[in-house]
Amino acid sequence: MGRPRIHATHAQRQAAYRVRRAQADAAAITDLEVRAERLRCAMEAADAARDPLARKLYGGTAAASIGNLALWFERQAEDCREAARAPAAAGSDPPAASPAHPASARKRPVTTKRPRPGQEGDGQ
């Protein structure tokens, strides 16, 4: 003897699945929005504290900052690959790592016209 059916028809089962899927998707989107807002707040705080990396990556909105962060990591990966190839080709020691990113001329980070925290009329 099998278990009793929860849904009488396939259409009811699909409708229930769509409701559950929509709820799960909404929860995932909310979670991403919360994390993006946390990132934006942390970057604003670091920018206000004059952190040089935060100043490069701050885009004014969470979406722009996430894009800038992705771009920065892409550049870092490219620089690491180039540094790994250079000593093998030249037969020399690898160059020392630099805290400043040397490839800033390749692609500019996204910025908005929104002022940074602490710059509204304080003469900075």
pLDDT in tens, 106-119: 556 665 555 555 55
Domain-by-domain residue ranges, the chain? 10-90
Rounded to an integer, what distance in angstroms lies between the CA atom of residue 58 and that of residue 68? 7
pLDDT tens-digit series, residues 89-109: 666 555 555 555 444 445 566
Closest Cα to residue 49, out of 121, 116, 115, 102? Answer: 116
The confidence score (pLDDT) of residue 73 equals 92
Taking the C-alpha atoms of residue 6 and residue 14, their distance in angstroms, rounded to an integer, is 12
The interaxial angle of helices 10-48 and 62-90, nearest 10 deg, is: 70
User: What predicted TM-score, i.e. pTM, was given to this entire model?
Assistant: 0.49
Largest Cα–Cα distance in the chain?
80
